Chains A and B, each alone.
Chain A
Amino acid sequence: MSDPKELLYSKSHEWVEMIDDTTAKVGLTDYAQNELGGLVFVNLPEEGDDIAAGEPFADVESVKAVSDVFSPVTGTVSEINEDLLDSPEMINDSPYEAWFVKVEGISEKVELLDEKAYAEFVDSLSEE
């Protein structure tokens, strides 16, 4: 799967869709879902929660382990994707449609890469 060109990417493998300057949707990249394996559970924050750039805001569970999902932005959760709660496997099947949260009032962001830079970053990981 190639990563969508219109999205931005964090080095902790989250994608960001900037809806406008201070609103975004966030999810996990294809690389992340492949590394995590089949997901069976998702823990999401609640609407109204403040989340901070670089800090965990959700977690996902495979059969074997729990993994934190890091927020690429600082802001307030305006919406959560309830579909993920019932069908966490969507994250594996369609990672770029399986948004976790919609965030508004965005003030800060972590370093975000465009699709090309993220692809290079991912390639460099497999060379380690």
Chain B
Amino acid sequence: MAEEKLKRTSLYDTHVKYGGKIVDFAGWELPVQYKSGVIAEHMAVRTKAGMFDVSHMGEVLCKGPDALKNLNMLLTNDYSGMHDGQARYSPMCNEKGGVVDDLIAYKHDDQCYLLVVNAANKDKDYNWMKAHQFGDVVFEDISDQVGQIALQGPLAKSILKKVTAEENIPAEYYACTFDKDVAGVKCMISTTGYTGEDGVELYMPKEDAPKVYEALMEAGKDDGLIPCGLGARDTLRLEAGMPLYGHEMDDTVSPREAGLGIFVKMDKEDFIGKDAIEAMGKPPKRRKIGLKVTGRGIIREHQDVFQDGKKIGVTTSGTHCPYLDHAYAVALVETDNREPGSKVEVDVRGRRVEAEIVKMPFYKRG
């Protein structure tokens, strides 16, 4: 039986050099943490800066005169009215209203958009887009050519300014610039991130990623910049209340159920899943809630949630959140009582642990 070889980003040797503990993530060999550990890496992003290799993410170009029409059919959000260099997040749904993936689309110009998708879903997404395309449009998978580095934290931009001119960095949130010189490498700079902190994501030809990475490490060494792995990436996004595909949503969960209703524009004439989402109602019966653990224990994913003795749903994510120094979880439940302050119990490996419904996000910067 042929063994599927794990893939490596162009930063693999860099991770080994910095002491990364390499694991298998969605078919890629990536560091879950470095010698500093998940907690120190998480705290670095919240208080100074941290750097992530996110080159495993998928990148698909959507090009042609019908690019916008195709995006608006594929995605629940409305992509009209964007200026060049603007970014917008959206779920991508199937006909039943379930989420195929969530992604960010960056507008280069009226006939060219860059779609950035989850690594684990890249092939699925690309095939989906091609299967549903219409008119004069081309979808091109450029993932194998693109490297991506995320630089996140309160000091991220000041570190970046040491290796690129200030005017290259977009002033707006959720915006991007193209072909900007960063440490001698032409990069796309976007003011996006998956941590809840200020910062950027840089896209470059993958063979140039190590050069940019090392230049940033040098530029940030006196600011406390450290490399961060996938472990911290998960604790940061969860603490900041950001959803993760495969947890908060999947192809059996619709955007409104996952708390992503604001990214669903029902006044668009049509999009894949529109009728199904409409039929589920507003709010739908199942809904995401945030939980703060009040008992003893750490609530994690796939644990049953009980309210007044009755099972109401299941947790989708949960961990000890390092900055808040407390355990939090997210669950998908069906109940009439989602009031913050209401008590639930979660079955943690056979033991009931008490938690309280809280508003999300758990952490918000500033």
Binding site for B on A (CB under 8 A): 37-38, 40-41, 43, 61-64, 66
| Contact of A61 with B320 at beta-carbon distance under 8 Å, contacts A40-B298, A41-B297 already known | yes
Q: Assess whether B319 is interfacial by the CB under 8 Å rule.
A: yes
Closest to A41 in B: B298
Chain B residues with Cβ below 8 Å from A61 are 298, 320
In angstroms, Cα B298 to Cα A32, docked, is 20
Chain A at the B interface: mostly helix, strand, loop or mixed?
A: strand
Decide: A64 near B231, CB < 8 A? Known: A41-B320, A43-B297: yes
The distance in angstroms between the C-alpha atoms of A61 and B327, with both chains bound, is: 11
| Residue in A41, A43, A64 whose beta carbon sits within 8 Å of that of B38 in the complex | A64
By the criterion CB–CB under 8 Å, are B349 and A66 in contact? yes
Q: Which of B211-236 contact A (CB under 8 A)?
A: 231, 234-235
Docked-complex contact A37 and B37, CB < 8 angstroms:
yes
Residues of A within 8 A of B297 (CB): 41, 43
B231–A38 touching, CB < 8 Å: no
Q: A61-B298, A63-B39, A63-B320 are in contact. Are A37 and B33 (CB under 8 A)?
A: yes
Residue of B nearest to A37 (CB): B37
9 A-B residue pairs with Cβ-Cβ distance under 8 Å, sorted by A, are A38-B37, A38-B40, A40-B320, A41-B297, A41-B327, A63-B231, A63-B235, A63-B320, A66-B298
| Closest 4 pairs between A and B when the two form their complex, measured CB to CB | A40-B320, A38-B39, A63-B38, A38-B37
Q: Do the beta carbons of A63 and B319 come within 8 Å of each other?
A: yes
Question: Please, what's the 1-or-0 string for B297-338, where 1 marks a CB less than 8 Å from any CB in chain A?
Answer: 110100000000000000000011010000100000000000
Q: Nearest Cβ distance between residue B121 and chain A, in whole angstroms? A: 22
Smallest CB gap from A61: residue in B: B298
- B5-47 CB contacts (< 8 Å) to partner A: 32-33, 37-40, 42
Q: Which residues of A contact B298 (CB under 8 A)?
A: 40-41, 61, 66
Closest A residue, CB atoms, query B349: A66
Residues of chain B with a CB closer than 8 A to A38's CB: 37-40
CA distance A40 to B319 in the complex (A): 10
Cα separation A66 to B299 with both chains bound (whole Å): 11
Tell me the nearest residue of chain A to B351, going by C-beta: A43
**In the assembled complex, which residues on chain A have CB atoms less than 8 Å from the CB atom of B322?**
63
User: B38 to chain A: which residues have CB within 8 Å?
Assistant: 37-38, 62-64
Return chain A residues, CB-CB under 8 Å to B235.
63
A38-B38, A63-B235 given; name 18 further pairs at CB < 8 Å: A37-B37, A37-B38, A38-B37, A38-B39, A40-B298, A41-B298, A41-B320, A41-B327, A61-B298, A62-B38, A63-B38, A63-B42, A63-B231, A63-B320, A63-B322, A64-B231, A64-B319, A66-B298
- In the bound complex, what is the Cα–Cα distance between A66 and B327 (angstroms)? 14
A32 to nearest B CB, angstroms?
15
* A35 nearest CB across to chain B (Å): 10
Nearest A residue (CB) for B39 = A38
> Cβ of A40: which chain B residues have Cβ within 8 Å of it?
39, 298, 320
Q: Give bound CA distance, A123 to B297, whole Å.
A: 34
Could you tell me the distance in whole angstroms from the C-beta of B148 to the nearest C-beta in chain A?
A: 23
> Smallest Cβ distance from A64 to chain B, in angstroms?
5
